[in-house]
Structure 1
């Protein structure tokens, strides 16, 4: 743990875990020091203020999302609604299973971000990218790729919430099977001229 980047990554990961487990108030410099077994004040050395810590944590979530997204979506963007729905459903499934802690942390940090515009912007785009959605919708032939991208991101946001905290999280349906169908329906609808 002598590498500064590694220590910063560990601190950000601990902040994510604390937020997911205990909400935004659980994310403190002291709690992170305790969680990682660091000397008191270590986290403050790397991130002097809570805002700096939250900014780094949101950047950490964004970086993980971008890396995971490129791992799920093929290098060539999908060119059919079915292929796009499959890629998006796989990404959402990965978010709410393997990265569930990250999704829960994001929701926990919302109240901190509301009063800080740069945190709000970072948090709003840390799991889903309007730019990537615009490229996808443009490649699929959407009449208005920008508007379709915003709507697609809103759909993905809603599905992520539903899968972690809503009805789909209750386990009474098979979310993976229904997810691709729902996403495909929306993509087809978004491709229609407004």
Structure 2
């Protein structure tokens, strides 16, 4: 993270020296810009409405809505200046969602992230660790994460969770632990197959929702 400087960004982007500082004059502003960009890139990876099997209302409530995903850095989805990257997505109403579909969509999105976007995963943890040392960045980083948290709460509620907020946090914690193990864990865990991830999500959802959520059962 020490290598993230205004000068380094200018050099990497092939811009005249001083260009980056014109847009992000302080270190804090530079880090916030990095967080905005991180969220934009993660949204493109983790948005199941771009993935097979997630079409229709269920997919629309995961990740960020397209207009939030494509908003310019530092703006709300409507284009007005904002302090978070695109702001949290608006709730998307939809009917009941079966647990099998939820496990399938989540496993596909997570597998795509783990297999094809390891550099993005590492940068996420670099920024998260920097936020632990900078309280002013912590607030911004946490607000940025709301674009992923809110829709997941809506999805667990649609799947029948009696406590969607708590269950969404449990799903996030499981994903975070798995991602860290694959990116930087001491055991150098191999990336699970999509089938293994789907099984893991089914096990979690079975405990949350009751019954057996495996395909064709429960």
Smaller-chain TM-score range?
0.7 to 0.9
Q: What is the rounded CA distance, in whole Å, between the counterparts of 2:10 and 2:146 in structure 1? A: 26
Pair 1:163 & 2:172 matched:
no
- Against the structure 1 CA distance between its residues 179 and 170, is the aligned structure 2 distance closer, same or farther, given a 3 Å change threshold? same
Question: Match of 1:131, SS?
Answer: helix
Q: Could you report, residue by residue, the CA deviation over 1:113-162 in whole angstroms, capped at 9, with x for unpaired residues?
A: 12444532443454972211111110011111111111111112112222
Name the counterpart of 2:62: none
Matching residue within 25, 32, 39 for 2:16: 39
**Contact 1:82/1:184 (8 A) holds in 2:** yes
**Contact 1:113/1:120 (8 A) holds in 2:** yes
Pair 1:180 & 2:180 matched:
no
More helix by share: 1
Name the counterpart of 1:99: 117
TM-superposed CA distance for 1:176, in Å, is: 2.7
Q: Could you report, residue by residue, the CA deviation over 1:50-105 in whole angstroms, capped at 9, with x for unpaired residues?
A: 11111111112222333431423434217222211111111111212332222110
Q: Which runs of 5+ in 1 are unaligned?
A: 1-23
- Against the structure 1 CA distance between its residues 142 and 185, is the aligned structure 2 distance closer, same or farther, given a 3 Å change threshold? same
| TM-score, normalised by the number of residues in structure 2 | 0.67
Aligned residue runs from structure 1 range 11-160, under 5 A: 24-68=1-45, 69=47, 70-72=49-51, 73-77=54-58, 79-117=97-135, 119-124=137-142, 125-126=144-145, 129-160=148-179
Q: Which runs of 5+ in 2 are unaligned?
A: 60-96, 211-218
- Against the structure 1 CA distance between its residues 139 and 168, is the aligned structure 2 distance closer, same or farther, given a 3 Å change threshold? farther
- Against the structure 1 CA distance between its residues 119 and 175, is the aligned structure 2 distance closer, same or farther, given a 3 Å change threshold? farther
Report the number of matched residues: 169
Question: Match of 1:109, SS?
Answer: helix
- Against the structure 1 CA distance between its residues 161 and 30, is the aligned structure 2 distance closer, same or farther, given a 3 Å change threshold? same
